A and B are shown apart, each in its own frame.
Chain A
Amino acid sequence: MPEKDLPHNHSKHESSKDDDFEVVIGLEVHAELATKTKLFSDSANHFGDEPNTNIDPVCLGLPGSLPVLNKRAVELSIRVGIALGSTISPCTFARKNYFYPDMPKNFQTSQYDQPLNVGGSLTLASGKKIGITRAHLEEDTGKITHIGGGGRIHDAKYCLIDYNRAGVPLLEIVSEPEISSGEEAREYVKELRAILVAVEASDGKMEEGSLRVDTNISVRKKGEVELGVRTEIKNVNSLRSLLRAVEFETKRHISAIQAGEELRQETRHFNEDTGETHPLRSKEDDMDYRYFPEPDLVPLDPDEKWVEEIREQMPALPTEKRVRLKEASGADDSVIALLVSRGVDDLVDATIQAGADAAQTIKLAEQNLSDGAGKLEADAFLKVVNMLQAGELSATQVKAVLTEVIENGVDPKQVAESMGFEAMDEGELEGLVEQVISQNPDEWERYKGGDQKLVGFFVGQMMKLTQGKADGKVVTAMLSKKAAN
């Protein structure tokens, strides 16, 4: 049974207020690298496939199988190292031993005392620098589904395991304990995600588990130098959860300190439904990983020439991309940061350079490219923007056309035609406007009398009549012209 976990804000000992404390946060971000294959074997690294189809003797730990390092995974990790200003270092792999069914070998191949990327920093939007301790390469584990007991780990009847994810390359990026609020933690992950996406190291999709965050939290009295007792929170799967988990855990620590209760150093599980954290393992079971050098893998020592080559081929970093897009579009900083974090800024930039209206392009990208641009390219995007500007497509039609082009990379004009979105002839449109006016004489008189709210009514009628083909802007212009006559 979990102990009582609710933070009690009204403790018996009110000698110190919440404001007297500060929270100290360090984050471990696990990023799945965007390789085609696994870290040590050649089955596919692909999310969402049928269970146990991307498996092989190496990732299943079958006897006699031997790992061989994926060069691309190292290259992507070095890109991240360069982006964070880390020292790319000679390194080795190590076995992290633990007995858990997500790794059939009973160890995870990771890096321990000699990681690939050492040191570095990340600058937040506020200008504050957060130190990076290290970033090391390791393999991901299989996916466990808890069956029975409502799918909760504590009450499950049994578990099912899919090893498609086992062996997928992960880069674990460890920050210094220099983050001082939940909001700052969120900023850090947002910026780190933007960097990972910009250097094409990861797709950064938290909802697919491509980016996972373990949060180390401790609380101390302001002015104290020594860190308080640290807890680690797992299962934080979104930026919102990160904020909620930090807030809950901070309060829990403060309440415990105020009440004179002892905090335990432990790993806790964040529950998305309740917003609370619960102990994941008891102290007695605390992991003792018994790391030792992996005898099946030789040392990795990236030579300077290779690192320089990677440096020269580095894609632009988010800071640079934001400046570039700002110059091209003049859009708001928040929108620009959003487009950069989605990795669609290059497309938007190229579309604007090709002659598309900047504001319209930005707006369309913001509204329609939340999952990336898929197969949409600049020339096609330019066509879509122009069709919208020319009134050949209505706002609703544009959405449908873009969805299709993003998915299948087809020509937008053909898509529009095949969907029956041909632009309506002005004369035809005018006839229909007159029809709507004559059918609604009372509304028309009120509109002519100055009731602008009725524009929506007439546009709505036109949309109904034309099944959404009419361009709202053109109809509005016709209405006001007719009212003036």
Chain B
Amino acid sequence: MTAEITPDIAAKVANLSRLKLTDEELAKFTDQLSAILEHAADIEALDLEGVLPTSHPYPLKNVFRQDVVSQGATSDGNDTEKNSGEKIAAFKSSVLGVAPESEDGQFKVPPILS
């Protein structure tokens, strides 16, 4: 599959990512995306018979965590319930504090369909 990246495709991808690009930027990214696809085409040209698809470069699988609540953001491993409550509140106010707008302990955003 060596679909050519046209300015239209680049514009569509930009739109899906809610990026507003100037004509110059669009031209630049069209070229860059094309170069990436060309590289993929180079790999595709190799004989990969018998090579399994790889989703991850490391020979690792089945990495788990146990199902234990610890509010990982703030835990120091020896929380009392009260401490934990205070830490949650502190984390909440710090993240809401950096949001452009908030209201009633929630993130405030523009309407979705307008």
Whether B95 pairs with A51 at a CB distance below 8 angstroms is no
Assuming A50-B105, A70-B67, A158-B110, is B91 touching A55 (CB within 8 A)? yes
Assuming A36-B68, A56-B71, is B62 touching A300 (CB within 8 A)? yes
Which chain B positions have C-beta within 8 A of A161? 106-109
- Chain A, residues 287-299, CB within 8 Å of chain B (1/0): the string is 0101001010111
Whether A153 pairs with B58 at a CB distance below 8 angstroms is no
Which chain B positions have C-beta within 8 A of A42? 65, 68-72, 75
Chain A CB within 10 Å, residue with most, of B12, B16, B55, B58: B55
A window 30-81: CB within 8 A of B: 35-37, 41-44, 50-53, 55-58, 60, 62, 68-74
Residue of A nearest to B89 (CB): A53
Q: How far is the CB of B13 from chain A (nearest CB, A)?
A: 8
Whether A99 pairs with B18 at a CB distance below 8 angstroms is yes
Whether B64 pairs with A70 at a CB distance below 8 angstroms is yes
User: B17, B69, B111: which contacts A146 (Cβ < 8 A)?
Assistant: B111
Residue of A nearest to B67 (CB): A72
B73 within 8 A of A: yes
Whether A299 pairs with B16 at a CB distance below 8 angstroms is no
- Chain A, residues 224-256, CB within 8 Å of chain B (1/0): the string is 000000000000000000000000000000000
Roughly how many angstroms separate A55 CA and B99 CA in the complex, as a whole number? 14
Number of residues from A at the complex interface, CB < 8 A: 56
User: B61, B88, B96, B112: which contacts A101 (Cβ < 8 A)?
Assistant: B112
Residue of A nearest to B18 (CB): A99
Q: How far is the CB of A152 from chain B (nearest CB, A)?
A: 10
Which chain B positions have C-beta within 8 A of A41? 72
CB<8 Å pairs between A and B, sample of 11: A37-B67, A42-B69, A50-B105, A52-B92, A53-B88, A56-B91, A92-B55, A145-B106, A159-B109, A161-B108, A302-B62
Interface residues of A (CB under 8 A from B): 35-37, 41-44, 50-53, 55-58, 60, 62, 68-74, 92, 97-101, 106, 144-146, 148, 153-154, 156-163, 288, 290, 293, 295, 297-303
11 new A-B contacts at CB < 8 Å, known A53-B89, A56-B71, A69-B64? A42-B72, A44-B71, A51-B105, A52-B107, A57-B72, A62-B95, A69-B63, A71-B66, A71-B67, A158-B109, A299-B56
